[in-house]
Amino acid sequence: MSASLAAPAPGGFGRMTLRLVLIGAVLLLAMLPALNRLPADSALHVSDFIVSITGKWITYAILALAIDLAWGYAGILSLGHGAFFALGGYAIGMHLMRLIGPRGVYGHPVLPDFMVFLGYRELPWYWLGFDHFPFAILMAVAVPGLLAGIVGYLAFRSRITGVYLSIITQALTYALMLAFFRNDMGFGGNNGFTDFKELLGMPLNTPTARSALFYASLLLLLAALWLCSSITRSKLGRVLVAIRDAESRVRFLGYDVTQHKLFVFVLSAMIAGLAGALYVPQVGIINPGEFSPGNSIEAVIWVAVGGRGTLVGALLGAFSVNALKTWLTTVAPDLWLFALGGLFVAVTLFLPRGLIGLFSKAPK
């Protein structure tokens, strides 16, 4: 890890200005679902599409925040965070599948359609409990956290750092993708879960459900931002930055590097899992494609574009890259991959501190 990174707090960009911009952006976002309720001919009317896609981007922004916490502050470049996101999504997806109940195509009172189709007699044991919402949410946090705990413990204990860790995490999400593609895993195989009906008594795909999910995502984003910023400003955050810049030295000073990294990696995975749990009800589908290594690395580039090591940068990157993606894939679909590839090259070569770096003073 090079030491030429931006300091955690942006230099010339005053803290007050930053706060004002942030509060303004949040207020603007919070108004979207309300504006959606205005009559369609009103000048301020916002379309359903805008609300649902912004809701999706907010969950992406939470994922970006999680990646930034691990990469920007502790130097752990995980190329497998998409796996934690997808696991959270699968957890809530299992709950949503259970809620379909007898309304499936086959009309089985308990088993989801794909299980009836595959000839299951009864629910596999790992599906038990998912008919309760709190349990599903708990799993959306606990499963990614546990997986990150095991992988992180094994990796950090043997001091696997840098690109080696990146490759291992990439292999992890790749392995999970292969596993979830299998029909006999009991997670719907290739098709994953879809055709959800309702959540917490609200039929999905109605304006009420859309706004509720939107506000829930926004609240989670704010909570995650608050949590991450209080961590990074604490003594713990200072130690993490120190680990990022000179791991051995921190170890020689008597800090337990393994525990610090493990803590931040697990926390980051949990936040990513929650983001996934909010993402799935909004897009209405989850399949093994979410585990593809490409997704994880795309999320990393959001953070790089925005500016890693600054939490606001991660948010900025997630929104701007996804806005660009949505625009380009409608205007010129073939150009998107060129543009994304170009972003990887341009940001690493010319904008090592991301878009945020444009506004703040260059490091000495």
Partner 1 sequence: MKNLLLALGVLLWLALPARAQDAFTAALPGLAGGFGDIATSVEQLGALGDPRALPILRALQAGQLQKHADGRLLLPGNTDAATGQPADASGAETVRLNNRVRQALRGALGRLQLVSPDAAERGAAAEAIFRSRSAEDVPTLQAAIARETDAGVKAKLVLALAAAQLVAPDEEAKRDAIARLGAAGTVEARALLIEARAANPTLVTAIDISIASIERSLSIRRAAETLFQGLSLGSVLLLAALGLAVTFGVMGVINMAHGEFVMLGAYATFMVQEACRGIPWLAPWSLPLSVPAAFLIAAAAGAALERGLIRHLYGRPLETLLMTFGVGMILQQAVRTIFGAQNREVASPAWMQGTLMLPGGIAVTQNRLWIIVFGIAVLLLVIAAIRFTRFGLEMRAVVQNRRIAATMGIRTGRVDALTFAFGSGIAGMAGVALSQIDNVSPNLGTGYIIDSFMVVVFGGVGSLAGTLVGALTLGVVNKVLEPYAGAVLAKVFVLVAIMLFIQRRPRGLFALKGRAAES
Task: Output the DSSP codes for 42-102.
Answer: STT---HHHHHHHHHHHHHHHHHHHHHIIIIIH----S-HHHHHHHHHHHHHHHHHHHHGG
Q: Does 151 bind partner 1 (CB under 8 A)?
A: yes
Binding to partner 1 (CB under 8 A): which residues in 64-123? 77
Q: 54 vs 78, which CB is nearer to partner 1?
A: 78
For the stretch 326-332, contacts whose Cβ atoms lie closer than 8 Å and that sit 24 or more positions apart, written own/partner, are 326/53
Q: Does 1 bind partner 1 (CB under 8 A)?
A: yes
d(CA 337, CA 360): 29
Q: 122 vs 334, which CB is nearer to partner 1?
A: 334
User: Cβ 301 to partner 1, closest distance in Å?
Assistant: 7
The single residue among 330, 349, 362, 364 that binds partner 1, judged by CB under 8 A, is 349
CB 355 within 8 A of CB 306: yes
Q: Does 249 bind partner 1 (CB under 8 A)?
A: no
Q: 207 vs 294, which CB is nearer to partner 1?
A: 294
Q: Does 160 bind partner 1 (CB under 8 A)?
A: yes
User: Cβ 331 to partner 1, closest distance in Å?
Assistant: 16
Q: 24 vs 124, which CB is nearer to partner 1?
A: 124
d(CA 105, CA 95): 18
Q: Does 362 bind partner 1 (CB under 8 A)?
A: no
Q: What is the DSSP letter of 361?
A: P
Neighbours of 327 (CB within 10 A): 12
User: Cβ 350 to partner 1, closest distance in Å?
Assistant: 10
Ranges assigned E (strand) in 66-195: 193-194
CB 103 within 8 A of CB 350: no
User: Cβ 151 to partner 1, closest distance in Å?
Assistant: 7
The single residue among 135, 215, 344, 359 that binds partner 1, judged by CB under 8 A, is 344
CB 305 within 8 A of CB 312: no
Q: Does 259 bind partner 1 (CB under 8 A)?
A: no
> Residue 107: is it exposed, middle or buried by C-beta count within 10 angstroms (0-12/13-18/19+)?
exposed
CB 356 within 8 A of CB 313: yes
Q: 96 vs 303, which CB is nearer to partner 1?
A: 303
Q: Does 342 bind partner 1 (CB under 8 A)?
A: yes
Write the CA distances from 294 to 285, 298, 361, integer angstroms: 18, 6, 33
- Type of residue at 72: G
User: Cβ 174 to partner 1, closest distance in Å?
Assistant: 5
User: Cβ 304 to partner 1, closest distance in Å?
Assistant: 6
Q: By rule CB under 8 A, what count of residues binds partner 1?
A: 43
The single residue among 16, 345, 362, 364 that binds partner 1, judged by CB under 8 A, is 345
Query: How close are the terminal C-alpha atoms of the chain, in Å?
Result: 18
d(CA 247, CA 241): 9
The single residue among 348, 358, 361, 363 that binds partner 1, judged by CB under 8 A, is 348
Among the candidate windows 11-19, 109-117, 178-186, 310-318, which touches partner 1 by CB under 8 A? Answer: 178-186
Binding to partner 1 (CB under 8 A): which residues in 299-328? 300-301, 304
The single residue among 182, 238, 249, 361 that binds partner 1, judged by CB under 8 A, is 182
Give the helix/strand (H/E) hosting 119. Answer: none
Query: Which residues of the shown chain bind partner 1 in the complex (CB under 8 A)?
Result: 1-2, 77, 151, 154-155, 157-160, 162-164, 166-168, 170-172, 174-175, 178-179, 181-182, 293, 297, 300-301, 304, 334, 337-338, 340-345, 347-349, 352
